[in-house]
A = this chain, B = another copy of it.
Amino acid sequence: MRMKTLQLDLGERSYPIHIGQGLLKDSRLLPPHIHGISSLVVSNETVAPLYLKQLQGLLAGYNNSDVILADGEQYKTLDTSNQIFTHMLEQRCDRRTTVLALGGGVVGDITGFASASYQRGVNFIQVPTTLLAMVDSSVGGKTGVNHTLGKNMIGAFHQPQCVLIDTDTLNTLDDRQLSAGMAEVIKYGLIRDTEFLDWLYNNMGGLLKRDPELLIEAIYRSCQHKAEIVAADEKEAGQRALLNLGHTFGHAIETGMGYGNWLHGEAVSVGMMMAAKLSRGMGWLSNEEVEYTETILKMAQLPTCPPKKMTVKLFMDLMSVDKKVLDGVLRLVLMKSMGEAVITEDFDHDVLLQVLIG
């Protein structure tokens, strides 16, 4: 068994991120992070048949029950959180219960929010099974659900006790989901690591063929970036916002197209292209750099153009509720140069308009 471990440094809220093959077979990893006698696994109807038994095998020493949610972004709602609360109350879960999120970003976000809110907060552990959740959503403590008027608008900062990434679970992930996760991997290259970007350019073929060593390397480097940024700015007072490159446009696409139709990573891929083009319009990126960005995204089988349905008006309406809006002023994450993201309200609105028109 190969395992690499990172530590997310947040004082008394610090926790390890274990990355490796076969971790769901290792009974030593979870117990140090479960303090009571009760555990609860939240998963969805796609992931549970594949990995629930394996995870429950690791929880044999604890009272355990499970909640299986419907699969899809369209179920990331307050109502679904309430389904978890109801189960927890019926099972008499108390404040020392540890909740485990087994699945992708949707399961992790909603389970994290339910854990943050149940009896004002219980412990939880992330066991991500999609590339996107492994490299992004399971790390850093952002939890939440969607509102019909905006994505991730209801939530909490609630750090897990541990993140357990078994890369073997990627073997059952479909190609479209793998590509969607790759969007967030590429993001780290674009915002702060051009060397990693070149590495991705050189290794995308092997990554999409699921070479285990390459995947572990990509996930490790992604989590390292995420952990560094979150440790420096847990509540997003500053640089953490840079992790949202492409997300203001992307969230608008996800909400505008109906939750669940576009995968988050797909929408972010388009959003990053839009941010790159806007950055070019500001004179910050060259044509070649924008094309290089597009090439890598396309190598990862990702879309790079917004869908026709996304009119300028729909984009503007949906972007006006973005969490980076402050006192009514829209701020965007752009690229000052390759590998250097900035958050700024000083962009040319005509150039933005050009980008939105497409």
How far does the Cβ of A262 sit from chain B's closest Cβ, in whole Å?
Answer: 20
How far does the Cβ of A143 sit from chain B's closest Cβ, in whole Å?
Answer: 8
Per-residue interface assignment for chain A, residues 110 to 121, with 1 indicating a CB less than 8 Å from any chain B CB and 0 otherwise: 000000111111
Which of chain B's residues has its CB closest to A155's CB? Answer: B120
Which residues of A284-325 are within 8 A (CB) of B? 320-321, 323, 325
**A20 at interface, CB cutoff 8 A:** no
**A346 at interface, CB cutoff 8 A:** no
Knowing A86-B147, A92-B320, A94-B327 are in contact, say whether A116-B153 is a contact too (CB < 8 A). Answer: no
Per-residue interface assignment for chain A, residues 11 to 23, with 1 indicating a CB less than 8 Å from any chain B CB and 0 otherwise: 0000000000000
How far does the Cβ of A313 sit from chain B's closest Cβ, in whole Å?
Answer: 15
Please determine whether A327 and B116 come into contact, CB atoms closer than 8 angstroms. Answer: no
**A96 at interface, CB cutoff 8 A:** yes
**A258 at interface, CB cutoff 8 A:** no
Per-residue interface assignment for chain A, residues 148 to 191, with 1 indicating a CB less than 8 Å from any chain B CB and 0 otherwise: 01100111110000000000000000000000000000000000
How far does the Cβ of A112 sit from chain B's closest Cβ, in whole Å?
Answer: 11
Given the complex of chains A and B, what is the CA–CA distance between A12 and B129 in angstroms?
A: 38
**A90 at interface, CB cutoff 8 A:** yes
**A247 at interface, CB cutoff 8 A:** no
Please determine whether A328 and B147 come into contact, CB atoms closer than 8 angstroms. Answer: no
Given the complex of chains A and B, what is the CA–CA distance between A154 and B328 in angstroms?
A: 31
How far does the Cβ of A274 sit from chain B's closest Cβ, in whole Å?
Answer: 21
Please determine whether A149 and B116 come into contact, CB atoms closer than 8 angstroms. Answer: no
Hey, which chain B residues are within 8 Å of A82, CB to CB?
Answer: 78, 147
Please determine whether B121 and A157 come into contact, CB atoms closer than 8 angstroms. Answer: yes
Given the complex of chains A and B, what is the CA–CA distance between A325 and B94 in angstroms?
A: 6
How far does the Cβ of A219 sit from chain B's closest Cβ, in whole Å?
Answer: 25
Which of chain B's residues has its CB closest to A154's CB? Answer: B117
Given the complex of chains A and B, what is the CA–CA distance between A120 and B326 in angstroms?
A: 14
Given the complex of chains A and B, what is the CA–CA distance between A155 and B94 in angstroms?
A: 14
Please determine whether B323 and A96 come into contact, CB atoms closer than 8 angstroms. Answer: no
Given the complex of chains A and B, what is the CA–CA distance between A78 and B150 in angstroms?
A: 17
Given the complex of chains A and B, what is the CA–CA distance between A321 and B38 in angstroms?
A: 14
Given the complex of chains A and B, what is the CA–CA distance between A235 and B118 in angstroms?
A: 14
Question: Please, could you name 13 A-B residue pairs with CB atoms under 8 Å apart, sorted by A?
Answer: A36-B326, A37-B327, A85-B154, A89-B147, A89-B150, A92-B321, A94-B323, A94-B328, A117-B154, A117-B156, A118-B154, A120-B323, A156-B156
Write the residues of chain A forming the contact surface with B, with a CB cutoff of 8 angstroms. 36-38, 78, 81-82, 85-86, 89-90, 92, 94-96, 116-121, 142, 144, 147, 149-150, 153-157, 235, 320-321, 323, 325-328
Q: A37-B327, A89-B149, A92-B325 are in contact. List 16 more A-B contacts (CB 8 A).
A: A36-B326, A37-B328, A78-B82, A85-B154, A89-B150, A89-B321, A90-B149, A92-B328, A94-B321, A94-B323, A94-B325, A95-B325, A116-B156, A120-B142, A120-B144, A120-B155
